[in-house]
Structure 1
Amino acid sequence: MGMMYRSHRRVVQFSVLVFVFLVPVLNLFEIYAVTGTLYAVNIGGLSVTDPVVILQAVFASGRLTVLLLGAALFPVLFALVFGRVWCGWMCPYHLLADGAAEVRRFFGERVLRRPLEKALPVKSSFKANAVRLSFLLFGTALAGAISIPVLNYVHAPGIFSTEAMIFVKERSLSPEFLFIAALLVMETAVLPRFWCRLFCPTGSFLSLFRAPFTMTVINKVKAVRSPCCTENHCSAVCPMGLAPFKEGGNLLCTNCAQCLDACPQSRLHFGGFGSK
């Protein structure tokens, strides 16, 4: 299978990155077919909003309107069909985290002359899920209690998109950019992938929408308990610290397909729509 998914994923990731900067450029030329940021974007009159933004608004106001529900509907349905493809293939922060991982690998191999371990802060997938879902629950409850969308202030892709807009329109950056910079420094130097694994509210919320037909990583070998190769290639490349040969359906999985590319026997594949 080689690097088939990797090349496709990079095309999608960089396309979204271009989109983030293109929207404010078009608006500068008074072209408003597309407006907004990755918090909420309007495309030809169709509003698409991060469901976590909607969730906080519902808790703060105590009511759910058709307008709010409609804005969050597309991301939820997309996750229900394709799983966390938004995280693995489209989120601009995930692309930056990929870059931080490459810098960490390069520094270890070229400078320290030894590979740096992933050093995941919470190795257990069960505990990692518990941490990030608790963070989502706490942030949502706090937003409802104080009527301030607190999770927006730690929404990495939304902040990045807003900073792109500010940079294009004003040639400057706001203090919120420091949050992104701090995350990347932490990911590179101390705790790789910690944000996506343990805190990202959007990824946590979207992961809850699963059905028998949701696209997931499936092993062709049934009831497998150990890796099919001694090197355990799939686990070595998984950015979420999973063992894909047996945890393809875990809520942490972003369907990034790195394990599929790494599997020497092509036993891992995407399944969904009721396939087993």
Structure 2
Amino acid sequence: MTGDRLSRLSLNQRTVANATLAEAIEACRSAGLTSIGVWREPVAEVGLDRAAELIKESGLRVSSLCRGGFFTASAPEAVEQAHLDNRAAIDEAARLGAATLCLVPGGLPAGDRDLAGARARVVEAIERLVPYASERGVRLGIEPMNPIYAADRGVISTLGQALDIADRFPAEHVGVIVDTFHLWWEPGVEEQIARAADRIVSYQISDWITPLPPDTLLARGMMGDGHIDFASFTRAVAAAGYQGDVEVEIFNADLWAQPYQQVVDTLSERYLQLVQPHL
């Protein structure tokens, strides 16, 4: 019974940053999960073909590959390098059978204060990538990020902004990632989730905890440890028709110091308590 209730739960590999890919896969299997979200760096450590083999042997789905994006460079050589890296990420996603390639928009280039220009370059870069992603059968997922990251990591801050970009392209090619940590604060987010409908390619969850740590990149908490109303957020995602995996993605130094199997067991319990009843 619990196994059926965990059938949509996915472990984002970054949640157990102290585990190898093989260890993360085994932790998923031990906890009864059927899906994993993988990161490019740990995949590269074992090699793409070996990573694909490990995942295939495990029987796990790949809910996402993190990450592509970082589109905001303005120097021509940097723009070209980002494009080539994103093509490589698309190839990796195709090889792994990932449901989506997560695109982190990127922040302002050093010394640049032109936020509107950076956002425009995100659109241009995605437009250039879409034909190749379509050819490789990879769906791109734009991830809006909490405004605290606008300067250095994500100039697209709201689900509304992400949808304005995604709407330029066919839904089967470009969608959006709904992440509770990034979007819980957004006014009218329920309406934007409803608007997203067939554009939601991933639902990612973690909590907003306070006080924020000095390194705000590590500010995510285990569900239930912070301020997010997972019941209402999840109901909105379900009402929009999303039926894919629910991926737990937590950047937190304290969690990374814990045994990874313990972390996976805890997140499974919290998912069953706070999220699964509302799907």
TM-score normalised according to structure 1 size: 0.28
Greater C-alpha radius of gyration: 1
Answer 1 or 2: which has greater strand percent. Answer: 2
* Higher relative contact order (CA closer than 8 Å, sequence separation 6+): 1
